[in-house]
Chains A and B, each alone.
Chain A
Amino acid sequence: MWPIFDYGRFVSIISSSDVYGVVWMRSLAQLHKMANLRVLVGVKRVIDYAVKIRVKPDNSGVVTDGVKHSMNPFCEIAMEEAVRLKEKKLAKEIIAVSCGPAQAQETIRTALAMGADRGIHVEVTGKSIDGDNNQTGQMTAALLDWPQATFASEVTKENDHLKVVREIDGGLETVKVTLPAVITADLRLNEPRYATLPNIMKAKKKKIAKHKAADFGVDLTPTLEVVGVEDPPVRQAGQKVESTEELVAKLKDSGVV
């Protein structure tokens, strides 16, 4: 469903939600040094993570009007990782991309201020927020038929592949992925820097290319319809029991055991 950019072969680093923090690296043959790589990072404007979300009275969605929005923090982390790759001379150029309404350009500008070299805005009308669905990275890998390493908390380059430490339920897992591959960014991957004023002023000269989804021959007709949105049920008060026997009895009575 997302437009695929034809920049050759890539590695993508994506955030672990359905907002895409995509880092694409063009991988030439193993002989070429990583310094030739260009990095594509996806950034998205979402409701600020610290905001207390409200469901709309008609249950059609969540309230977005007048609510504070900012760049998805995981996109910031992906952006930071891209900048660090460039500082380590592993990447040559960083491109920030955002699919969304006109306001997406503000998010791209912030990415430029953080260190991206240029931006691409694909105009997609209609509202969307981060549903925290954890799909974009995995879908991208499937569409491109590339290996993936999700929930990355550490990414290191070793010769012609990447070593990625992943955060999983049981702890940490280290995997090796050949290039090109898809990586999704997790919270502890890095601490994003603030856009400094000198970089903000430099961003003035950077370009943002504008496109429509139709330019890429992509059909935006949704294949998913949201029927309703509700608050989670209010947490019920618990019951206190005096002894283990009473606890077991109550569990048996309620059919849980």
Chain B
Amino acid sequence: MITCNVTFDLYKSNMAARLLSKTFLLPVRGRFAVSALSYPARCKSSGQPLTQEVSEELSDEAIFSHEHVELRRSLNKIIENDINPHVDEWENAKIFPAHQVFKKLGDAGFLGVNRPPEYGGLGLDYSYNVAVAEELGNIKCGAIPMAIGVQTDMATPALARFGSDLVKKEFLAPSISGDKVACLGVSEVGAGSDVSSIKTTAKKSGGDYIINGGKMWTTNGLQADWMCLLANTSDGPPHRNKSLICLPMDLPGIEKAKIDKIGMWSSDTAQIFLEDVRVPQSYLIGDEGMGFTYQMLQFQEERLWGAAASIVPLDTVINETAEYTKQRKIFGQPLLNNQAVHFKLAELQTEVECLRSLIYRATGMYIQGKDVTKLASMAKLKGGRLAREVTDCCLQYWGGMGYTSDVMVSRAHRDFRLLSIGGGADEVMMSIIAKYMGTLPKLKPQ
């Protein structure tokens, strides 16, 4: 029997040193020093928290299996290696390289999870989309998951379901492979929540449509190769005169202007101007006049996705706040020792789990073919409200540090404020829920 004293020369470990010299070193951030705690695991080189390990326990959830866990593990690696190291840089530059990032994700198969295999998708059910959405929450900002979500779950559902083979080959397949960046053109300067009052027109001329008008709040607007555009294609009742058209973004007559926002900085949100833009009629998705209906169907997935993408960031904010307040001393004790703090964090964590359950439940029903408009709207509503409450409350516990640009909680506070507004404002969600409850007053005919 050999006994020996082992000194772990870990900091000079051969293997680790060689690996780190190969990997992109995360930028050293701020004066924020945290003492040794096992959660979250900290990166050797930068002291920044690593993303959480994807636990096998996830497969205990009703909607997840071992494959969902493997999917999340693989996506976690891409995020850890190719996305997170660059987030700070992209946030400062106020744009991220969409083509580069989407191609990486597309190559690994993450952009067409529930899309038809004939066009490069995997034909899996929606629970896999939710797994992707949730895992994307490990990205250290809100902008990039949002941009990915537009590509996978907001600009393409109607195209995948109702588009002709021609438009699917031209627009869907490259969006799934990550070769083309997509954006969604629905909201306008004068019409956000009130989708039926959009003014953009698409008039027939020869074999084309001539498009006039504009779009607002277009995520990916500057970098997109094509837009899923909602326009009025005829006169008539506002719910039946609109159509969805695939619009290439390099056509003459299209102007783009970047919008400066208080959060979601890496995302290029643009105002789009459309003046006599000519597009072939073959780029119509499905049937003319059905655009409004298609868009309403698209919204279910958009809303569920938005809620799912917010859960992990909220978990992270709560956990990082717990860690910060554990080492931050006030009047001789860790700030976390105050009941007000650890009780509140417990409550907030409870709410996050409730939201998670709501999303999983809605997903479970959706993959069985049920209509989940009510639950999806509830999930979106709750997500928006909870994101505001969690980030605001936790920021308070960070004190002065929470007000600086160096910490994750202030970025989360700015980024997730959007959740109550974009993708369907809270007020719209409440109207939908009220309608299902039978409490929405009937509008007088105009």
Q: Which residues of B contact A200 (CB under 8 A)?
A: 67, 70-71, 74
Option from B1, B18, B70, B110 in Cβ contact (under 8 Å) with A187: B18
Answer yes or no: A256 CB below 8 A from chain B CBs. no
Q: What's the interface size class on B, roughly?
A: 35 or more
Q: Does A231 lie within 8 Å of B70, measured CB to CB?
A: no
Q: Does B70 lie within 8 Å of A132, measured CB to CB?
A: no
Option from A63, A109, A194, A201 in Cβ contact (under 8 Å) with B38: A63
Residues from 342 to 366 in B contacting A, C-beta threshold 8 Å? none
Answer yes or no: B122 CB below 8 A from chain A CBs. yes
Using an 8 Å CB-CB cutoff, how does the interface string of A203-236 with B read, 1 for contact, 0 for none? 1100000000000000000011111111110000
Q: Which residues of B contact A69 (CB under 8 A)?
A: 53
Answer yes or no: A89 CB below 8 A from chain B CBs. no
Answer yes or no: A16 CB below 8 A from chain B CBs. yes
Answer yes or no: A157 CB below 8 A from chain B CBs. no
Q: Which residues of A contact B43 (CB under 8 A)?
A: 50-52
Answer yes or no: B280 CB below 8 A from chain A CBs. no
Using an 8 Å CB-CB cutoff, how does the interface string of A55-83 with B read, 1 for contact, 0 for none? 10000001101111110011000000000
Nearest Cβ on chain B to A210's Cβ, whole angstroms: 15
Q: Does B8 lie within 8 Å of A204, measured CB to CB?
A: no
Q: Does A51 lie within 8 Å of B70, measured CB to CB?
A: no
Q: Which residues of B contact A63 (CB under 8 A)?
A: 38
Q: What's the interface size class on A, roughly?
A: 35 or more
- Complex Cα distance A68/B107, Å? 26
Answer yes or no: B341 CB below 8 A from chain A CBs. no
Nearest Cβ on chain B to A178's Cβ, whole angstroms: 29
Q: Which residues of A contact B61 (CB under 8 A)?
A: none
Q: Which residues of B contact A67 (CB under 8 A)?
A: 38, 41
Answer yes or no: B405 CB below 8 A from chain A CBs. no
- Complex Cα distance A131/B16, Å? 11
Q: Does B122 lie within 8 Å of A197, measured CB to CB?
A: yes
Answer yes or no: A196 CB below 8 A from chain B CBs. yes
A-B contact pairs, 11 of them (CB 8 A): A50-B19, A50-B43, A109-B70, A110-B70, A134-B14, A194-B78, A195-B73, A195-B74, A225-B3, A226-B4, A229-B7
- Starting from the known contacts A132-B16, A225-B2, A231-B8, 12 additional A-B residue pairs (CB-CB under 8 Å) come to A17-B15, A49-B16, A52-B47, A66-B39, A68-B50, A74-B15, A110-B70, A130-B15, A196-B74, A198-B109, A204-B67, A224-B3
